[in-house]
Chains A and B, each alone.
Chain A
Amino acid sequence: MPPEAQPAESNALLPVVPFLKIPEGADPYLEGSRCQNCGAVFIGERDNCSSCGARDQMETIQLSNKGELYVFSIVFRSFPGIEVPYVSAIVDLEGGGTVKGNLINVDPDPEKIQMGMPVELVYKTAPRKDAEGNEYLTYYFQPRS
């Protein structure tokens, strides 16, 4: 019999994507990079700028948890095992950076979702574990007033 998958030793949450940072004793946030040459903002760490081509001009920044909904789609058919419907959203963050994610706490109805509406990021434990039983922290968007 193959050995059972062991749960991770610590019960600390792992980030769902590398650019989601979970600092000890502080709130989670999304990390980005800003080009000091042209000002372009990217999600996550990078060495070079794909806007202007500058090398080693990237400064690491903390992205805002506030933004506005740029566009969305309501997904009714996805891969097997993925719960539908859900709202796939592209959000422009305050101060730069564009992120994709699920928009929650809205009706999956195009009449009820306004492009341009203010949204905020919220961080929650993902409803999926990996093969080793590790739990993950993920982010969602939700409307803000």
Chain B
Amino acid sequence: MSDVYIIGIDMIKFGRFPETSVPKLGATAAHMALDDAGVSIQDCQALYSGNLGQAAAMVGQRILAEIGQTGVPVVNCANACATGATAFREGWMSIKAGIYDMVLCVGTEQMGKGLLGGAGGGKGIPTEGLLGSGTMPAVFAEAGMEHQRKYGTTFEQFAKVSVKNHHHSTMNPKAMYQIETPLETVMGAEMISYPNTKLMCSVNVDGAAAAVICSEEKARELGKMDRAVKVRASVMSSDPYQERNLQMPDVNSCTQVAAKAAYEMAGIGPDDLDLVELHDCFATAEILHYGNLGLGKQEDAGRMIDEGETSLGGRIPVNVSGGLLSKGHPLGATGIANLYEVSTHLRNEAGERQVEGARFGLTHVIGLGSACAIHILEKAS
């Protein structure tokens, strides 16, 4: 089986673009990735498209209608916040299987403002606020409180995640926000669902990201190896049975399962990683995933954020892009945008926020319900 390489990858600057359409956003990112690879849409043998909001509306084909209807197979994916990563992984599998030698993967989303989630609806009376809360900030607040219960993690430590990621995004021109948010500002912001304040919730934005991936043979034939990024592992999982997970969505066990499999596939361990882009949909979530991804022990997560181990320049920088908290979280695009961030560091093209000498990086996304996707990337040698 051939190794799979990213030869072109890019994302649009995340923001709010109500005047455009999902296919146009996707088309822009697709063109950027094709240009980055130096190939054309005619070179791609299939398109894997990820979008959540219009999951039933053939977004991939509508992207091709914008950039070139070459008649190739199109697969449309929807998998909650793992949608983009799922589309990428479908493309990866097609090359791994030897079916194609070059494909295009695109993730897009156009979002409204406001809360996601909510319990009930349909028949009877709404149960939101009656039988607890199904809003995403509350669900992830409860997951954070579980960490507090087990390991003593504090509101202040959760808040420091947001301080760090907002700081990182001041160095990322493609992030939605480039603003410093000191600890007092984060902790003093409007409380949405304790312990998550408004500045500890990811930003709903519109966005798109795309990648051109190919077989090793193709990358060599085209002379693309100097900027190529090798996919060392591509893994997904769903949530294994846990006694509470039908009442309390569990983002931990599926991440642990996927991480173990990813490190095995890559043949490396967490200590070999130079940077990580993980699913900080809420500040509480980032803390959970330090332990889930093996970046440290679960009980050390609070200390890791206190001591700056996961800041740029620290032992294992996490979310140097600004993360979902500050770069923004366009659901279907997030999984490919994370791959763009890590690839950019491995190519030594990340500018001010560059992780020096980066060789290995990991991306992690999780869609509640749950779908976890992890990729481990390596600088091509």
Contacts and interface: CB of A to CB of B under 8 A. Distances in A.
Partners in one complex: yes
Contact of B146 (A51, A71, A138): A71
Interface in B31-68: none
Contacts of B155: 110
Interface string A53-82: 000000000000000001111111111001
Given A115-B145, A115-B149, A136 B248 contact: no
A134 to B, nearest CB: 8
Contacts of A127: 130
Contacts of B335: none
A130 B125 contact: yes
A51 to B, nearest CB: 4
Given A73-B133, A77-B192, A98 B247 contact: yes
Contact of A77 (B131, B148, B190, B248): B190
B298 interface: no
Contacts of A98: 243-244, 246-248
A99 B125 contact: no
B33 to A, nearest CB: 37
Interface residues of A, number: 43
A102 B193 contact: no
Nearest to B121: A79
Contacts of B148: 115
B195 interface: yes
B194 A84 contact: no
Given A100-B247, A110-B195, A16 B131 contact: yes
Given A78-B115, A126-B130, A73 B194 contact: yes
A36 interface: no
Contacts of A74: 191, 193-194
Contacts of B146: 70-71
Contact of A79 (B118, B145, B190, B247): B118
A128 B143 CA distance: 29
Contacts of B372: none
A143 interface: no
A70 B133 contact: no
A40 B241 contact: yes
Interface in B147-189: 148-149, 155
Interface stretch (B12-20, B134-142, B301-309, B314-322): B134-142
A99 B119 CA distance: 13
Contact of B127 (A16, A43, A83): A16
A90 interface: yes
B248 A100 contact: yes
Contacts of B127: 16-17
Interface in A86-107: 86, 88-90, 92, 98-102
A116 interface: yes
Query: Which residue, of B115, B118, B124, B195, has the highest number of chain A Cβ atoms within 10 A?
Result: B124
Given A16-B124, A110-B194, A84 B247 contact: no
Given A71-B248, A138-B130, 20 more contacts: A16-B130, A16-B131, A17-B124, A70-B149, A71-B145, A72-B142, A77-B193, A78-B135, A79-B118, A79-B128, A82-B126, A82-B128, A88-B193, A98-B244, A102-B129, A102-B132, A110-B155, A128-B126, A136-B124, A139-B131
